[in-house]
A and B are shown apart, each in its own frame.
Chain A
Amino acid sequence: MELDPLILSRIQFAFVVSFHAIFPVFTIGLASYIAVLEGLGFKTKNPVWMKLSSFWTKVFAVVFGMGVVSGIVMSFQFGTNWSNFAQASANFLGPMLSYEVITAFFLEAAFLGVLLFGRDRVPAGVHLFAAIMVATGTLISTFWILSANSWMHTPAGTELRDGVFFVTSWSEAIFNPSFQYRFAHMVIASFLTGGFVVAGVSAWYLLKGREVEANRKALSMSLWLLLFLAPAQAVVGDFHGLNTLEHQPMKVAAMEGHWETSKNVPLLLFAIPDKANQTNHFEIGIPSLASLILTHEWDGEILGLNEVAPEEQPPVAIVFWSFRVMVGLGLMMILFAFVGLALRVGDRFWRTRWFLQGMRFMSITPFIAVLSGWFVTEIGRGPWLVYGMMTQAQGVTPSLTGGMALFTLIGYIIVYSMVFSAGVYYMMRVLYVGLEDDYDEEPDQAERPKRPLSASHVPFELHEDSKFQPVNHGDH
């Protein structure tokens, strides 16, 4: 089989960016959560908030560190594998990506150090301010990246001359038509991720009977947050979908597995899309519901994939199924948020073991949902790289051979699995040691904000001479 550098480059980019994405999606939500904890602690002076904040700040530091490391590769991928695209779009994407880097550096140099290491060294108000600034900074970073990404979906404010995009209006390019929807959807997704992880970890500690007062508070506030955010995300997602229908109808057709333009389109619950024959197999659907959702009329007409030639259609099956995974997990999130509300009757939400076990499981679902959502939007853009203007095939590096792309793809998979299994393992150690961490007795002279991992002093291995002996707090 001939190795195709285009396919391999797409897989490599998808792998690297997916691996990278799971870290920032968590830190963006967590940063805001920490700011809220700091705010509560500052206002009420209840030490429980500070205990929680101090623990989650450590988690934040480790995840942020992993995000920074995996991000280094990202800033070079455009050039190595997508050099034609990089050259064509640099006038807009270059400044956008650079502003993101600048934001991150500004944040690290100015506020991250105070947040991670300043708890006992600066006044409480200053520490709170730093927490708010770090949270704001992560949102500003999101702003730049999503603006750049949205422009690739709905290019505006630029004109293409001799194969190069020139910016004619910065405001139109930055605030391009899909930006606000994508930004809102992503920020809520980050908050949901932060919320479900905090809730899941707190549930696990509650199951173990560890630090019950603090973890009950953490679970309770996460559940309130999720009760509002999970349904809100469904509404925002709907608006985002309508925006996509307007600008990228073929993506929506792929999401719905909808081949031929028609009215009264059913909402498919199950199907096996078959692009070769331009049809679905084993369809199970609810009549007319897709028409209602997308056009808000029972007999609304929806454009089908047959509007364009098969080679201009995105890959259908993966978009179709990724969308269903995302929506399915989103519905489970809403369900758990409401079950949490119901269990407040009789104050049972922190004592009901099956619910706590369920929340543990739910803590990984936002990551899967976020990646599925990105699969939908990115693969659904195919075959375009800049929608309607530049295809993926035009954007790929001309000198790249299949062998080279395969070499680095395998290479990155090896490097990432080694480095990040160490990272995830260490993360688990930090969670295992938990709020009762007493390693902080040995403050470190060389704690630096640009080395966020130095904020955690948990040892890498479990040791017999370890100061922290896991206590069986009664897991029965």
Chain B
Amino acid sequence: METFDLTLIWAFIIGFGVIMYVLMDGFDLGVGILFPFAPSEEDRDTMMNSVAPVWDGNETWLVLGGAGLLAAFPLVYSILLPALYIGVFLMLSGLIFRGIAFEFRFKARTSRYLWNWAFAGGSTVAAFAQGIVVGTYIQGYDTANGVFVGGALDWLTPFTVLTGFGLLAGYALLGSTWLIMKTEGRLQEWAYKLTLPLLAAVLIVFGIISVWTPFIDDMVRDRWFSNLSIIWVLPALTLLCAFQIFRSVRNRFEGMPFVATMGLFITAYLGLIVSRWPYLIPPDYTLWDAASAYNSQLFLLLGLLVVIPFVLVYTAWTYWVFRGKVRAGEGYH
């Protein structure tokens, strides 16, 4: 009866959704993280204008991911969300604040500084919380009989705090390279200056995580060190991307730093996936353990196949319409 392995198709869809979310919300969260440090209020306007037309689609992927997980991999939904209970609350609050701040800042005058703080604070909290999610994924979850049995603060360990800061730096790097691409003059100069220190911070955290992880988990250690395999291409590509960022910033390229940062994220993400494959809820449950019923996966897939291309076209169209530089005083009033 089951001609296709729908679970694998769904794993691809959700995996694709996650990286789309990370890259796209990543740079606009990054802009939010860098927001308080901008040289002037006028530059802050420009920063916001640079993401205003496109940040809308980003939460699309988060909500779709949440609902899609419930439909296709309910066990992920019912173990990760309880395990990350407080963290999920912090992330959602952060996202709500920055979303609302985004809209009202444009309409506000005297209360603008309040929305500035809400935007920056919300972005920072949301990014840090997402970094913690990554950390717990590497760390694994305390489960028994398909339910989370750990404590309320299991997600808060030195390791997850490190991954939290790692993603914070990573998103800030996406943000700064985005600003290099989309702005000019003083703001672009500022973004150029930030990029290399941020890159250094990201690499240091990545380095510590890479050394630390094999000590946390035997499976990850075996996968990487038991025999030298093709997967070492991924960290090699990550380093290549890092070098590319360094080189392109030194040469004052405008688009390449952002493209290379996306490459850095994608290769690191793939590295994380191969470390854990086929476990979706480490250390106990694989993709197939976590999957919903075949006919439920099929029922939703039919609708999704119609809509995903549509969302992609819409997204691409939005970026196309708003291509090019954002200048001070343009866009919002």
**A binding-site residues for B, Cβ under 8 Å:** 65, 69, 71-73, 75-76, 78-80, 83-84, 86-87, 90-95, 97-102, 105-106, 109-110, 166-167, 170, 397-401, 403-404, 407-408, 411-412, 415, 419, 422-423, 426, 442, 444-446, 448-451, 453-454, 456-461, 463
Contact = CB atoms under 8 A, between A and B. Distances in A.
Kindly name the residue among B49, B56, B330 whose own CB sees the greatest number of chain A CB atoms within 10 A.
B56
B109 to A, nearest CB: 6
A80 B59 contact: no
Interface string B304-328: 1001001100100010001000000
B81 A83 contact: yes
B293 A91 contact: yes
B108 interface: yes
B36 interface: no
A105 B63 CA distance: 10
A109 B311 contact: yes
B70 interface: yes
Given A90-B292, A398-B147, A69 B99 contact: yes
A422 B271 CA distance: 43
A94 B109 CA distance: 43
A95 B300 contact: yes
A72 B79 CA distance: 19
Contacts of A415: 93, 96-97
A94 to B, nearest CB: 3
A90 B70 contact: yes
Contacts of B147: 83-84, 87, 398-399
A65 B71 contact: no
Nearest to B304: A102
A99 B100 contact: no
Nearest to A170: B299
A173 to B, nearest CB: 10
B296 A91 contact: yes
Given A97-B67, A399-B149, 16 more contacts: A69-B96, A79-B82, A83-B79, A90-B78, A94-B72, A97-B70, A109-B314, A397-B85, A404-B85, A419-B97, A419-B100, A422-B104, A450-B56, A457-B107, A459-B108, A461-B111
Contacts of A411: 89, 93
A451 B52 CA distance: 9
B145 to A, nearest CB: 9
A423 B118 CA distance: 14
Given A109-B314, A397-B82, A408-B86, A451 B103 contact: yes
A444 B331 contact: yes
A93 B109 CA distance: 44
Contacts of B109: 459-461, 463
Given A95-B299, A98-B71, A446-B53, A110 B310 contact: yes
Kindly name the residue among B52, B78, B299 whose own CB sees the greatest number of chain A CB atoms within 10 A.
B78
A451 B56 contact: yes
Given A99-B303, A400-B82, A404-B85, A90 B108 contact: no
Contacts of A397: 82, 85, 148
B74 interface: yes
A102 to B, nearest CB: 5
Kindly name the residue among A398, A400, A450, A456 whose own CB sees the greatest number of chain B CB atoms within 10 A.
A450
Contacts of B152: 399, 401, 403-404
B92 interface: yes
B104 A446 contact: no
Nearest to A419: B100
Contact of A94 (B59, B71, B307): B71
Contacts of B288: none
B273 interface: no
B146 interface: yes
List the 10 shortest-distance A-B pairs measured between CB atoms, nearest first.
Answer: A94-B71, A79-B81, A90-B74, A450-B56, A83-B78, A87-B78, A109-B314, A460-B108, A453-B103, A446-B52
B190 interface: no
Nearest to A100: B67
A69 B95 CA distance: 9
B6 to A, nearest CB: 12
Contacts of A450: 56-57, 59-60
Given A101-B63, A460-B108, A446 B49 contact: yes
B120 interface: no
A65 B331 CA distance: 20
Contacts of A444: 331-333
B110 to A, nearest CB: 6
A86 B330 contact: no
A403 B86 CA distance: 11
B172 interface: no
A401 B93 CA distance: 20
A98 B70 contact: yes
A461 B110 contact: yes
B66 interface: yes
Contact of A446 (B71, B111, B304, B322): B322
B165 to A, nearest CB: 23
B60 A90 contact: no
Given A72-B95, A419-B100, A454-B103, A461 B108 contact: yes
Nearest to B321: A445
B83 interface: yes
A101 B102 CA distance: 22
A469 B63 CA distance: 41
A170 B302 CA distance: 14
B49 A76 contact: no
Contacts of A408: 85-86, 89
A399 B82 contact: yes
Contacts of A453: 103-104
B68 interface: yes
Nearest to A101: B67
A102 B111 CA distance: 36
